Amino acid sequence: MRAWYAVPVGLLVLAGCSSGGSSSTQTTGMGSDGACAAPVVSLSRSHARAGETLEVTIENVGECHDRGETSSPGAAGVLTWQQAGSAVRQLTSVPYDQGEVVTLPLTVPSGATPGPARVIYDGTTAALLTVSP
């Protein structure tokens, strides 16, 4: 004897839907309980030689004020270079008041060796670059 079971899948899918005339929109991002968008770092090229210049773009530059903090005049993020076997080297400071998106020229350090490298903004967000011979 076989037993058949019916599973009401449609009810599971529709359980969160409302049939009333009112609707609500949930906003994500900034707010009293929200969080600031993380910085994003990108490079104009993925390969470069030591001494060559390329562009680095940093999105979401600025201080995070998602919990009511106040601005710090003159505050800046730091752009650094890191490659295996070498110390982290500071390239430049990026003032927070330059805007949400900042594009800067970046010269690959003269002592860079062939292989992978990272361009890091504020110690947490990185873009990858391969140093060519």
pLDDT tens, residue by residue, 1-49: 444 434 333 333 333 333 334 333 222 233 344 678 888 999 999 999 9
Contact indicator for 117, 83 with CB cutoff of 8 Å? yes
This prediction has a pTM of 0.66
Specify the CATH number of the domain 35-67+75-132.
2.60.40.1930
pLDDT tens, residue by residue, 86-116: 777 888 888 877 778 999 999 999 989 999 9
Q: Compute CA 118 distance to the chain's CA centroid, rounded to the nearest angstrom.
A: 14
**Tokens at residue 73, please?**
């005049």
> Could you tell me which of 93, 84, 86, 98 has the C-alpha nearest to residue 123?
93
